[in-house]
């Protein structure tokens, strides 16, 4: 264990899977291993995270939808994307309505999303475009996180909404069905679900703390992909989500085993950054696509990976 503590203020997604991941990190001492003392703030979407980082209330966001961060960077805001995180979405699109079976049935329907321009809104927008459907024909209802959206769907407040992988394997239990073309990890493998980004101030003044925090996340990602991690993951799930069914934990853990969605090397492929910027332009969230080097700083990710490898 390191003798020096590196304090860092991190904003993270507050969804159930992220809460389990944070409990797993604490349980296995990944932050402690690199002397990191995180001060956590949880939000429901990347737009909120970008605002907190830009306001100086947090140093960095980890494991967040980063479309809003890219838009801010293009507006010359002092942010940089510093690492990849979960590069494959865990979301699917569901309905309770028997006459809504496919994405092609969505024109004229109400679809629950997060804030306009945040992750779930961008996901459904991208899926509609891929299937040749005009997103302008769909009525998007901003609600909140994917778990909040799913509750609204179950309550009949919207006709269509998001759920994650545990819902996909238990559709009858929840009284919903996934839409044709709605399993977005299959439909949109090019869509990078989450990344990490930091303020220019943190990059200049808290670089070592950032690198060490990223190194701790390398250990998390390797753990999530490891077939030996089930017992620790199940214990973290039980602690972070008391009352949640353990069979849902098994579904989520198996998803990690099958797809290995996390960036174990922390690197974010340039083509995925271009994809997100082009989607932002199509959605009129940013004016132009900037070069990869203008929106990212992957040097911290490389330093963090070297630190982990040297640590053994």
Dump the DSSP string for 123-144: HHHHHHHHTT--GGGSEEEE--
- Residue 63 pLDDT class (50, 70, 90 cuts): very high
Question: What are the φ and ψ backbone dihedral angles of 133, each rounded to 5 degrees?
Answer: -105, 135
Q: Which residues are 198's β-sheet partners?
A: 60, 80
**For a pLDDT cut of 70, what percent of the chain falls above it?**
99
The CATH number of 6-88+191-311, from 3.40.190.10, 1.10.760.10, 3.40.50.720, 3.40.640.10, is 3.40.190.10
pLDDT of residue 181: 94
Helix residue ranges per DSSP H, the chain: 16-28, 30-33, 46-54, 67-74, 119-130, 146-154, 165-168, 171-174, 184-187, 200-205, 207-225, 230-240, 246-259, 270-282, 292-295, 299-311
Q: What is the pLDDT of residue 166?
A: 85
Residues of the chain with CATH 3.40.190.10: 6-88+191-311, 92-187
Q: Give the pLDDT score at 1.
A: 43
d(CA 9, CA 96): 40
In Å, what is the CA distance from 308 to each residue of 27, 112, 222?
18, 40, 11
The DSSP line for 77-119 is -SEEEEEE-B-S---EEEES-TT--BGGG-TT-EEEESSTTSH
Is pLDDT above 80 for 160?
yes
* Residues 6 or more apart in contact with residue 172 via CB below 8 angstroms: none
Burial 213-243 (b: 16+ CB within 10 A, else e): bbbbbbbbbebbeeeebeebbebbbeebbee
pLDDT grade for 290, boundaries at 50, 70 and 90: very high
According to CATH, the topology of domain 92-187 is D-Maltodextrin-Binding Protein; domain 2 (3.40.190)
For the cut 80, the answer to whether the pLDDT of residue 205 exceeds it is: yes
Confidence of residue 2 (pLDDT cuts 50, 70, 90): very low
Count other Cβ atoms within 10 Å, centred on residue 73: 22
Q: CA 18 to CA 40: how far, in whole Å?
A: 12
Cα–Cα distance, 184 to 196 (Å, whole number): 21
Alpha-carbon dihedral angle through residues 80, 83, 85, 91, given to the nearest 10 degrees: 40
Question: Mean pLDDT for the chain?
Answer: 95
Query: What is the average pLDDT across 249-276?
Result: 96
Alpha-carbon distance 176 to 289, whole Å? 38
Question: What pLDDT sits at residue 304?
Answer: 98
User: Which residues make Cβ contacts (< 8 Å) with residue 84, sequence separation at least 6?
Assistant: 192, 194, 195, 196, 263, 266, 267, 268, 269, 272, 301
pLDDT value at 281 more than 70: yes
pLDDT in tens, 218-257: 999 999 999 999 999 999 999 999 988 899 999 999 999 9
Under DSSP, the state recorded for 262 is B
Q: What is the pLDDT of residue 4?
A: 72
């Amino acid at each position: 264990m390191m003798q020096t503590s590196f304090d860092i203020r991190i904003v993270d997604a507050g969804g159930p899977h992220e809460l389990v991941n944070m409990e797993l990190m604490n349980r296995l001492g990944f932050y402690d291993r690199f002397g990191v003392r995180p001060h956590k703030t949880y939000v429901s979407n990347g737009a909120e995270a970008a605002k907190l980082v830009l306001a100086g209330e947090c140093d960095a966001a980890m494991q967040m939808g980063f479309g809003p961060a890219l838009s801010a960077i293009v507006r010359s805001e002092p942010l940089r994307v510093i690492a990849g995180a979960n590069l494959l979405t865990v979301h699917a699109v569901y309905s309770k309505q028997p006459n809504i079976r496919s994405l092609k049935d969505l024109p004229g329907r109400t679809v629950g999303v997060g804030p306009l321009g945040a992750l779930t809104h961008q996901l459904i927008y991208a899926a509609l475009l891929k299937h040749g459907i005009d997103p302008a024909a769909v009525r998007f209802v901003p609600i909140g996180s994917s778990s909040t959206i799913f509750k609204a769907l179950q309550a009949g407040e919207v006709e269509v909404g998001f759920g994650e992988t545990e819902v996909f394997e238990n559709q009858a239990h929840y009284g919903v069905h996934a839409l044709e073309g709605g399993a977005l990890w299959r439909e949109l493998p090019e869509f990078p679900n989450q990344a990490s980004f930091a303020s220019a101030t943190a990059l200049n003044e808290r670089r070592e703390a950032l690198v060490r925090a990223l190194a701790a996340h390398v250990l998390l990602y390797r753990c999530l992909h490891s077939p030996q991690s089930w017992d620790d993951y199940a214990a973290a799930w039980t602690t972070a989500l008391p009352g949640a069914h353990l069979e849902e934990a098994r579904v989520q853990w198996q998803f990690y085993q099958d797809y290995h969605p996390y960036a174990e090397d922390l690197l974010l492929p340039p083509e995925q950054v271009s994809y997100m910027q082009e989607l932002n332009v199509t959605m009129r969230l940013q004016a132009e696509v900037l070069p990869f080097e203008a929106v990212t700083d992957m040097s911290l990710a490389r330093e963090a990976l070297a630190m982990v490898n040297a640590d053994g």
